[in-house]
Amino acid sequence: MSLAPWVVAADAAALLDFLADVLGAQETGRAPGPDGLIGHAETVVGGTTVVVVDALPGWAPQPALMRVDVQDVDAVLARAEAAGATTVTPRTSLPFGDDVARFTDPWGNLWWVHEHVQDVDFDTLLARMEDPATAETMGHFELSLDAEMRRRAGS
């Protein structure tokens, strides 16, 4: 069993280029419709197939919220920003051993990029969660997501 998220985008071809340039996505197929719009395309991001289609006239684009594990959060974030993305959450070291950043791409997709930097056993994680500095970090991390989601809702 596998899961393949779908993204309905204005200018799916440009989104596919963005995914290749920023995340190293490998496109596996593209089916344009008679109108020239992409009726179905598949690209593999971090081992997961993402389906990308163009929004037809009268359709609202439907962005997604996605997580991808990467080797270098800073490099991915720099490529994303250079390609028009906006950082939502700067690189943050989280108590479970990953450094994480978030960005929104020009199509409204919200990406979590995770870089595993340390194996953390359960006891260490529990101890870290009791540290006031960790609570402060987690608070800032969650506030950045809350601000983005409220921005999207217009509140």
Q: Given a cut of 90, is residue 82 above it in pLDDT?
A: yes
Q: Where are the domains of the chain?
A: 1-62, 64-155
The whole-angstrom separation of Cα 87 and Cα 126 is 29
CATH of domain 1-62: 3.30.720.120
**Partners of 113 in beta bridges:** 68, 101
pLDDT at 1 over 90: no
The C-alpha atoms of residue 141 and residue 75 are separated, in whole angstroms, by 20
CATH code, residues 64-155? 3.30.720.110
Q: How confident is the model at residue 2 (pLDDT cuts 50, 70, 90)?
A: confident
Residue 65: CB partners within 8 Å, gap ≥ 6? Answer: 109, 110, 112
Strand, helix or coil for residue 2: coil
Answer yes or no: same fold for 1-62 and 64-155. yes
pLDDT at 108: 97
Res 99 pLDDT > 90: yes
- 93 alpha carbon, distance to own chain's centre: 17
Q: In what order do the strands lie in the sheet with 110-116?
A: 65-69, 110-116, 98-104, 86-93
pLDDT above 70: percentage of residues in the chain = 100
Hey, which residues does 67 pair with through a beta bridge? Answer: 112
pTM recorded for the entire structure: 0.93
Average pLDDT of the residues in 46-60: 95
